[in-house]
Structure 1
Amino acid sequence: MREILIVGGGYAGFYTAWGLEKKLRRDEARVTVVDPRPYMTYQPFLPEVVAGSVEARHAAVSLRRHLHRTRLIAGSVTEIRDSAHTATVRPQSGPEFDLHYDILVMTAGAVTRTFPIPGLSDQAYGLKHVEEAVAIRDRLLTSFDRAATLPHGPERRRLLTATVVGGGFSGVEGFGELLSLASALLKHYPEIGAEELAFHLVEARGRILPEVTDGPGEWVVRSLEKRGARVHLNTQLVSAKDGRVVLSDGSEYDSELLVWTAGNAANPIVHNHTDLPVDARGLLMVRADLRVGTESEVVADVWAAGDDASVPDLAAGRPDARTVPNAQHAVRQGKLLAKNILASLRGRPAKDYVHHSLGVVATLGLGRGIFQYRRLVIKGFPAWLMHRGYHVLAIPSWERKARVFAVWVTAAFFGRDVISLASVQHPREAFVSSGDPRRGEKSADADAVAG
């Protein structure tokens, strides 16, 4: 049988493998997926995980639960030598080994783009994975618990200050949901007033949400500011050393929570450790039919999709247009990729990827949202309902749809859960302390240093 190797189990990789499983004959090919995580993260739900509107596990789709005929390897691909049809795999346990393949599918996904800003790597959280969303939520809840016991002063102000850097969809949605959670917490903390909250959104460009037009983007800024937030446009993070945030607009303050969502970068495996063609941004050069290569020269039996692929956007009507790295494209590219690989195996021509946008929709917190399709703009509660409706239908499997919907229904009657589980980050603390709180503090300090 032919060996199909899929590097990455995110949107594009998962949907490619899922589509192949449904159509491949048992003696036709064997599929292998290599990914360090045993699940696909449904990233549009991460802001709602931050706010507690979606359970963390429900934003993750188990690979083993849905890919029954696919060989799954928990590990990372560290090098690809397509000239020898070989990939080097570093498993989570054991020595590295080589995998031979006949067909290669590159869906490794992008990584968070960072800069050498003092204190950033020590203080900031990303927002690309479930564990990051959970940690952000727990950090805010714990800050409220600590601030409620302190007198008014610098330490209390720091605990009630949060900063999100990045005004794209991930940053704005995460910021809106974080602000919504903080506002909802106030009724449970009578010691804390709304005027004490300080939430800052920092964006280097002159506007947020580049996927929408100027008018709706400006409305979102006004909406956030009416809720007490501070939006810094044309502003960059200069330093975050020891939690002291310094911005290029002259602002300077202490912030207990710092979230970094300032864009994506190509996966290092793609632009540093393969012999495949990449463009100036480090993305794989991909044809319209999702084969790696150019219009004049194709790399045989190598395909790519998702955030690491520079795919022509035929729907844009411009020869230099490329699809933007978002879930809408990654999911649809993965589905087409499975069909095109099957067509190639069976001697049929592959189809080009053409997708006309269905519009963009974003949540800005519980009951608030924005939707735009061409000139049609919907704001507020109706847009929020559209956001929830679209994503509960888009998340894979009826099992996940049912779980997410059940949590939403429960929250509608009883409100969101406001319990912090930050202690799970130090699971041995209670055991080590053995009733001595001083030993528990030392254990937590040691865990923090090790982390």
Structure 2
Amino acid sequence: MKRVIIIGGGFGGFYSALGLEKEKNLEIILVDPSNHFIYIPLIHEVSVGQIPKSAVKINFNKALKRTRHIKSRVIFISFKDRRVKLDNNTKLSYDYLIIACGSEPNKPIEGTGKLQTLKTLDDAKKIQKILLDFIKTKKKSICVIGEGATGTELISEMASLLSNFDKRVELHHFLYFKRYFQSMPNFDIPIKRQMEKLGVIVHSGEPVKKVSRKEVITEVGKYNFDLIFVSTGVKSNIIDTEIEFQGGYPIDNHCNIEGLENVYAIGDVSKFDYKGDKSPKLAQAAENQANYIIKDIIRRENGRKRKPFNLKIIAQFISVGKNYAIGVFLNKLTVRGFFAWFMKRSFYFFEIFRRKKSFRLLKVYILSMIFSNLFLKMD
């Protein structure tokens, strides 16, 4: 029986395990230090108590039937020996290896190293506590640095939350570029209009040069804030190997690391060209790769001809506070407003329900559509 080791239980790793464990002739091992898959696209809602943290957690051992979950970290990979070394010094051999260890926050701006960001469920819980403490004080200003999906969704959710408490707050959003989402020009004006309605001051094309305590220094001027959050992208998690990699693992048109035909890289750790630009760090892209790798391994095991990987981004949605989102299908059809927000959330909750089969999740979905910040933990 061939052994497949999957490093990391995020979108790429979790979905790879779900598909591969259906093949009876494969032994599947998932190595991840946590017990749960976290549905990252909804953690901004956890950060403001719109949904409980339990809604985005899926237990590995309950969702995966034939996969062996090892709660550990891989600290070294020997491509030559086809072995991985865990942090408890255990060594495991593999026939196929899928590296899906994700990414970590990238904070290149001076002085932002210790600022709170939103990348994990723990971050969401910390932000919720920070905001609850903020509400109880006389502090009046917040800023978010970074205009990606996370930064945009976070500050808009904060604006919605604080308006419910009738707390007058100055909210500032600093953008490196002049427009929101450079690759999707139809997003910029609607997002800015919605930010204006939410009371968010948008600093377009005003890169932050430095943060010093509560002071934000840009190319235009200096500002003081009570709370500063940062969302300036991510960088790939790289595991030690005999080969040195920088900024991710370059993959070929079969999602194999170049020169290593039995090793796949997936999600945020993979590097490839996509329409003349860098590979997108999206959950959708990781899931797309996972579905391809599942089929590719099965083809190889059955002696069938391999097909090249072709990434297709079907749709992209960004929520801007409660009841509003903007999305694009196949980079052509743009939708916005409540309908787009409803579609986005409904799809995400359906995806979680498919794996979790929890009727409590349906209750959370319905209640969170009707009420605002119902799961905010007030003392």
Q: Structure 2 length as normaliser, TM-score?
A: 0.92
Contact 1:245-1:255 within 8 A present in 2 as well: no
Instruction: Please name the residue that 1:184 is paired with.
Output: 164
CA distance, structure 2, for counterparts of residue 338 and residue 418 of structure 1: 37
The Cα of 1:387 is off from its aligned counterpart by 1.4
The Cα of 1:115 is off from its aligned counterpart by 2.0
CA distance, structure 1, for counterparts of residue 103 and residue 346 of structure 2: 27
Give CA-to-partner distance per residue, 1:138-181, whole Å, 9 cap, x none.
21122112x2xxxxxxxx2xx23222111011111111112111
Is 2:155 the partner of 1:162?
Answer: no
Return the letter of the residue paired with 1:338: I
Determine helix, strand or coil for the equivalent of 2:28: strand
Q: Which has the larger radius of gyration?
A: 1
Instruction: Please name the residue that 2:126 is paired with.
Output: 135
The Cα of 1:70 is off from its aligned counterpart by 1.6
Identity level (%): 24
Contact 2:20-2:26 within 8 A present in 1 as well: no
Contact 2:72-2:86 within 8 A present in 1 as well: yes
Instruction: Please name the residue that 2:54 is paired with.
Output: 57
Contact 1:141-1:418 within 8 A present in 2 as well: no
Instruction: Please name the residue that 1:173 is paired with.
Output: 153
CA distance, structure 1, for counterparts of residue 371 and residue 122 of structure 2: 25
Determine helix, strand or coil for the equivalent of 1:268: coil
Aligned length: 378
CA distance, structure 1, for counterparts of residue 358 and residue 12 of structure 2: 19
Contact 2:266-2:289 within 8 A present in 1 as well: yes
Return the letter of the residue paired with 1:344: R
Instruction: Please name the residue that 1:362 is paired with.
Output: 318
- Which has the larger displacement, 8-17 or 346-355? 346-355
Instruction: Please name the residue that 2:79 is paired with.
Output: 82
The Cα of 1:11 is off from its aligned counterpart by 0.4
Contact 2:63-2:356 within 8 A present in 1 as well: no
The Cα of 1:107 is off from its aligned counterpart by 0.9
Instruction: Please name the residue that 2:350 is paired with.
Output: 393
The Cα of 1:359 is off from its aligned counterpart by 2.5
Q: Which runs of 5+ in 2 are unaligned?
A: none
Is 2:378 the partner of 1:417?
Answer: no
Return the letter of the residue paired with 2:251: V
Contact 1:34-1:75 within 8 A present in 2 as well: yes
Return the letter of the residue paired with 1:115: P
Q: Which runs of 5+ in 1 are unaligned?
A: 148-155, 187-191, 424-451
Return the letter of the residue paired with 1:262: T
Give CA-to-partner distance per residue, 1:46-77, whole Å, 9 cap, x none.
11112322211211221111123222122221
The Cα of 1:245 is off from its aligned counterpart by 3.1
CA distance, structure 2, for counterparts of residue 247 and residue 349 of structure 1: 54
1:293-332 pair list within 5 angstroms: 293=258, 298-313=259-274, 316=275, 320=276, 323-332=279-288
Instruction: Please name the residue that 2:170 is paired with.
Output: 198
Return the letter of the residue paired with 1:333: Q
- For residues 96 and 396 of structure 1, do their structure 2 counterparts lie closer, same or farther at Cα, with a shift above 3 Å needed? farther
- The CA RMSD over aligned residues, in Å, is 2.3
CA distance, structure 1, for counterparts of residue 231 and residue 89 of structure 2: 32
CA distance, structure 1, for counterparts of residue 369 and residue 298 of structure 2: 44
